[in-house]
């Protein structure tokens, strides 16, 4: 089936993706700028994202698991991949077969990698988030002796809140570690970290969200929308004044209202948080969502110009859509379903 045969489509803007990466690379100053492509490139398609960013000069890519690494297949020339969750016993065969690097997160993972005679690796240290990583004490205990560490990294818990005191505490703890742990490079900043201050960039930055058009922190401007959603009108009806629309009859027409029923719903990742809050666009005219989002259908109030079989854009600029729906920008991307006809522009 061709993408156009499907009644909802996801159009991905390859130029916007590359321009976002270029902006982040500039803001990273002398540091290299990588790309987090876990969760299938935040839902957009990791293979396509890697191909486009590698062609633009990005070298360092990050996925969460070895399954994701395997799904990427052969990487473009010069691209290298780190696997953030490190190595469980069950991952060792894939990890040792190369060419990707595990990010070692615990003493057990370090021991496993050393015992197997594994090659170059990355190491994650937890500097205050209490998520993944060695403690700073473990990192300087001699545990890492003998490892060929390419990148020493840590992850910021509150980079999206520039004034949060944990940011500077993590930066200082990480800088102290960088002096004591022999690694070729250091890396601390995710998307939001790049916008904090120049000294968070270290040698390598690891943006994800901002590449895909998310606004990672309040002051972060200049990032372009990458994913656009359109859905086709299945039926148009008029709701009489005083009559309700949709499940639960939560929305009532104040006057006779043209309602277009679109072929998209929460099974496509357009979640119920958009009920009576989101909107579609018909040639620039805002068409508010009327009532609850169904699994496969959505009702929007439309002007007379909209008819059956027309395509409407669903407003999905991430910062605004997150505000409307109460979902995070990350959830908005990674939750997009599999029913779209997908294509890159
Ligand atoms: C997901 C992830 C990133 C990217 O984070 P964004 O907030 O999407 O920029 C960077 N580093 C690590 C360790 C991650 O897990």
Query: Using CA atoms, how far apart are residues 325 and 277, in angstroms rounded to an integer?
Result: 7
CA 80 from chain centre, in angstroms, equals: 19
* Nearest residue by C-alpha to atom 15 in ligand 1: 84
Q: What is the sign of the dihedral through the CA atoms of 289, 291, 295 and 301?
A: negative
CB-based contact 309:265 (threshold 8 Å): no
Q: What is the pTM of this model?
A: 0.96
**Ligand 1 and 206: CB distance under 6 A:** yes
What pLDDT digit, counting tens, does each position of 78-129 carry? 999 999 999 999 999 999 998 999 999 999 999 999 999 999 999 999 999 9
Written as six digits, the tokens of 44 are 């957009």
The average confidence (pLDDT) of the chain is 97
What pLDDT digit, counting tens, does each position of 15-70 carry? 999 999 999 999 999 999 999 999 999 999 999 999 999 999 999 999 999 999 99
**Ligand 1 and 155: CB distance under 6 A:** yes
Confidence check: pLDDT of 219 > 90: no
Q: How far is the CA of 285 from the centre of ligand 1 (A)?
A: 36
Q: What is the model's pLDDT at position 334? A: 97
* Number of the ligand 1 atom closest to the C-alpha atom of 64: 15
Please say if 38 is a catalytic residue: yes
Which percentage of the chain shows pLDDT scores above 70?
A: 99
Query: Using CA atoms, how far apart are residues 246 and 183, in angstroms rounded to an integer?
Result: 58
**Ligand 1 and 194: CB distance under 6 A:** no
CB-based contact 158:167 (threshold 8 Å): yes
Q: What is the model's pLDDT at position 1? A: 61
- Which of the following is catalytic: 42, 200, 212, 247? 247
Strand residues in the chain grouped as ranges (E): 8-12, 32-33, 35-36, 60-63, 80-83, 101-104, 121-124, 149-153, 185-187, 204-205, 227-239, 244-245, 251-252, 257-262, 279-282, 285-288, 298-301, 311-314, 341-344
Please say if 247 is a catalytic residue: yes
**Ligand 1 and 209: CB distance under 6 A:** yes
Q: What is the model's pLDDT at position 3? A: 60
User: What's the angle, vertex CA 159, arms to CA 66 and CA 137, rounded to 5?
Assistant: 65
What pLDDT digit, counting tens, does each position of 184-215 carry? 999 999 999 999 999 999 999 999 999 999 99
Query: Using CA atoms, how far apart are residues 265 and 281, in angstroms rounded to an integer?
Result: 16
């Amino acid at each position: 089936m061709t993408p156009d045969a499907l009644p909802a489509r996801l159009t991905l803007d390859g130029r916007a993706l590359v321009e976002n990466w270029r902006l982040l690379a500039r803001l990273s100053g002398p540091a290299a700028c990588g790309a987090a492509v876990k969760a299938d490139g935040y839902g957009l398609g990791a293979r396509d994202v890697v191909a486009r960013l590698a062609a633009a000069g990005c070298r360092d890519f990050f996925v969460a698991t070895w399954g994701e690494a395997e799904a990427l297949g052969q990487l473009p020339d010069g691209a290298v991949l780190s696997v953030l969750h490190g190595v469980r016993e069950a991952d060792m065969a894939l990890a040792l077969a190369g060419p990707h690097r595990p990010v070692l997160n615990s003493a057990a993972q370090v021991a496993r990698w050393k015992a197997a005679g594994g090659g170059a690796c990355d190491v994650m240290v937890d500097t205050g988030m209490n998520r993944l990583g060695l403690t700073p004490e473990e990192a300087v205990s001699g545990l890492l002796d003998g490892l060929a560490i390419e990148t020493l990294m840590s992850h910021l818990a509150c980079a999206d809140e520039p004034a949060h005191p944990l940011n500077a505490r993590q930066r200082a703890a990480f800088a102290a570690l960088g002096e004591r742990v022999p690694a070729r490079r250091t890396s601390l900043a995710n998307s939001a970290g790049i916008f904090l201050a120049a000294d968070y960039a270290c040698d390598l930055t690891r943006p994800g969200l901002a590449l895909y058009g998310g606004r990672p922190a309040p002051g972060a401007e200049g990032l372009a929308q990458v994913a656009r959603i359109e859905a086709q009108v299945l039926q148009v009806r008029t709701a009489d004044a005083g009559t309700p629309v949709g499940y639960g009859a939560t929305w009532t027409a104040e006057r006779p209202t043209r309602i277009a029923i679109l072929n998209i719903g929460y099974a496509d990742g357009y979640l119920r948080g958009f009920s009576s809050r989101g909107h579609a666009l018909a040639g620039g005219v805002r068409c508010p969502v009327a009532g609850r989002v169904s699994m496969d259908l959505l009702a929007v109030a439309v002007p007379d110009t909209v008819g059956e079989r027309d395509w409407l854009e669903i407003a999905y600029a991430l910062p605004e859509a997150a505000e409307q729906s109460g979902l995070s920008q990350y959830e908005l991307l990674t939750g997009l379903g599999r029913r779209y006809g997908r294509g890159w522009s």
